[in-house]
Amino acid sequence: MNARIRILLIEDNKNTCSYISALLDKNGYTTTTALTGREGLSLAASLCPNLILLDLGLPDMDGFQVLEQLRGWSHVPILIVSACNEEQEKVAALDLGADDYITKPFYPNELTARIRTALRHSRGNAHSQVYKALNLEIDFDKRILRLEGKRVHLTQIEYQLLSLLAENAGRVLTYNTILRRIWGPYAEENNQILRVNMANIRRKIEQNPAQPQYVFTEVGVGYRMLENENG
């Protein structure tokens, strides 16, 4: 199954290490643990893991420093696993390059699902030519959107927004990330224009915009699109 997939867990709580290691072992992954940030950085360089699980509350250095140093030389998927549920921490971690953020305590299936999503993205499967989920389909080459087989018209900005989320389906994109990608690096950090466009998109693709099926809001953080069935 996943026997060749190596996961590095950087976590200072030994009980948590044992629990996550047992969970990953049960799912066929090979897990190595590090109890400090410095040990984690050393192992990341020597083991070249396929994915890293990183706790932010480490005893010797700030988890954000570990994340920033890793991103200085590695594109390996990094999932933050933290007891902190503060929006500012989630945004900061994602903006620094984390692929996802999961809050303790978590359901085992939630963690393994997030891991599978991150691994698919690292293999490049996220950028398939077609996005398909439930009754929604986006052909990236032809720039065509279909809902229940019928073409849906989007403005240029709406299409860029939706295709950006679809290309990163299953992952949270922060508001700032989306603003920079769509409106450029000097875009004002004003979420109003983003919210207006997202509301317009939802009116066009969601059966009930108040209970979306395709594009979900991570309150205070950003947006996540339903996983691509083709990925």
Q: State pLDDT tens for residues 58-90.
A: 999 999 999 999 988 888 899 999 888 788 888
Boundary-marking domain end, from 79, 101, 123: 123
Q: Which two tokens stand for residue 205?
A: 């693709």
Same domain, residue pair 52 and 156: no
Q: State pLDDT tens for residues 16-33.
A: 999 999 999 999 999 999
Same domain, residue pair 17 and 115: yes
* Position 1 in a domain: no
Expressed as residue numbers, the domain containing 15 is 6-123
* Position 18 in a domain: yes
Quote the number of domains for the chain: 2
Same domain, residue pair 180 and 209: yes
Of all residues in the chain, the percent with pLDDT exceeding 90 is 45
Same domain, residue pair 84 and 138: no
Same domain, residue pair 136 and 94: no
* Position 76 in a domain: yes
- Domain CATH number, residue 147: 1.10.10.10
Half-sphere exposure of 47 (CA within 13 A, CB side): 22
Same domain, residue pair 171 and 65: no
Same domain, residue pair 109 and 132: no
Confidence of residue 180 (pLDDT cuts 50, 70, 90): confident
Same domain, residue pair 106 and 63: yes
What is the mean pLDDT of the segment spanning 223-230? Answer: 84
pTM comes to 0.72
Q: State pLDDT tens for residues 122-177.
A: 665 445 688 898 999 998 888 889 999 999 999 988 998 999 999 888 888 888 88
> Looking at this protein, which amino acid is placed at residue 111?
L
Are the CB atoms for 207 and 215 separated by under 8 Å?
no
